[in-house]
Amino acid sequence: MQRDQPRKPALMDLLLRGLRIGASTVAIVELLRSDWLGGGLASLAWLVFVQVERRRAAAQQPEP
Protein backbone atom coordinates (compact mmCIF):
# COMPACT_ATOMS: atom_id res chain seq x y z
CA MET A 1 0.00 0.00 0.00
CA GLN A 2 1.14 3.48 -0.75
CA ARG A 3 0.60 6.31 1.66
CA ASP A 4 -0.76 9.56 0.37
CA GLN A 5 1.53 12.55 0.45
CA PRO A 6 0.77 14.73 3.46
CA ARG A 7 -1.22 17.77 2.44
CA LYS A 8 0.31 21.17 3.05
CA PRO A 9 -1.36 22.96 5.92
CA ALA A 10 -4.61 24.66 5.02
CA LEU A 11 -3.67 27.52 7.34
CA MET A 12 -1.17 28.83 4.78
CA ASP A 13 -3.85 28.79 2.10
CA LEU A 14 -6.21 30.72 4.33
CA LEU A 15 -3.54 33.29 5.21
CA LEU A 16 -2.62 33.84 1.57
CA ARG A 17 -6.27 34.23 0.63
CA GLY A 18 -6.77 36.74 3.45
CA LEU A 19 -3.71 38.74 2.42
CA ARG A 20 -4.90 38.76 -1.20
CA ILE A 21 -8.36 39.99 -0.26
CA GLY A 22 -6.92 42.58 2.11
CA ALA A 23 -4.47 43.90 -0.48
CA SER A 24 -7.18 44.23 -3.13
CA THR A 25 -9.46 46.04 -0.69
CA VAL A 26 -6.72 48.45 0.33
CA ALA A 27 -5.84 49.05 -3.33
CA ILE A 28 -9.42 49.93 -4.23
CA VAL A 29 -9.87 52.22 -1.23
CA GLU A 30 -6.58 54.01 -1.83
CA LEU A 31 -7.30 54.51 -5.52
CA LEU A 32 -10.77 55.87 -4.72
CA ARG A 33 -9.13 58.32 -2.32
CA SER A 34 -6.77 59.35 -5.17
CA ASP A 35 -3.72 58.14 -3.28
CA TRP A 36 -1.93 56.86 -6.37
CA LEU A 37 1.26 55.69 -4.67
CA GLY A 38 -0.55 53.73 -1.95
CA GLY A 39 -3.01 52.28 -4.45
CA GLY A 40 -0.24 51.28 -6.82
CA LEU A 41 1.78 49.59 -4.08
CA ALA A 42 -1.27 47.75 -2.76
CA SER A 43 -2.08 46.64 -6.32
CA LEU A 44 1.47 45.34 -6.68
CA ALA A 45 1.12 43.44 -3.39
CA TRP A 46 -2.15 41.94 -4.64
CA LEU A 47 -0.46 40.82 -7.85
CA VAL A 48 2.37 39.16 -5.89
CA PHE A 49 -0.11 37.26 -3.70
CA VAL A 50 -2.03 36.07 -6.77
CA GLN A 51 1.18 34.78 -8.36
CA VAL A 52 2.21 32.98 -5.16
CA GLU A 53 -1.19 31.28 -4.95
CA ARG A 54 -0.98 30.16 -8.57
CA ARG A 55 2.51 28.72 -8.13
CA ARG A 56 1.49 26.89 -4.95
CA ALA A 57 -1.54 25.41 -6.72
CA ALA A 58 0.61 24.28 -9.66
CA ALA A 59 3.15 22.70 -7.32
CA GLN A 60 0.46 20.73 -5.49
CA GLN A 61 -0.93 19.10 -8.63
CA PRO A 62 0.54 15.68 -9.39
CA GLU A 63 2.59 15.32 -12.54
CA PRO A 64 1.20 13.03 -15.27
Residue type, position 62, single letter? P
Going by C-alpha positions, the residue among 7, 13, 5 that lies closest to residue 54 is 13
Going by C-alpha positions, the residue among 36, 40, 11, 35 that lies closest to residue 23 is 40
Which tops the pLDDT comparison, 4 or 59? Answer: 59
pLDDT tens per residue across span 3-38: 666 665 678 888 999 999 999 999 999 999 999 999
Q: Print burial letters for 12-38: b (CB count within 10 Å at least 16), e (below 16).
A: eeeeeeebbeebbebbeebeeeeeeee
- Residue ranges per domain, the chain? 20-60
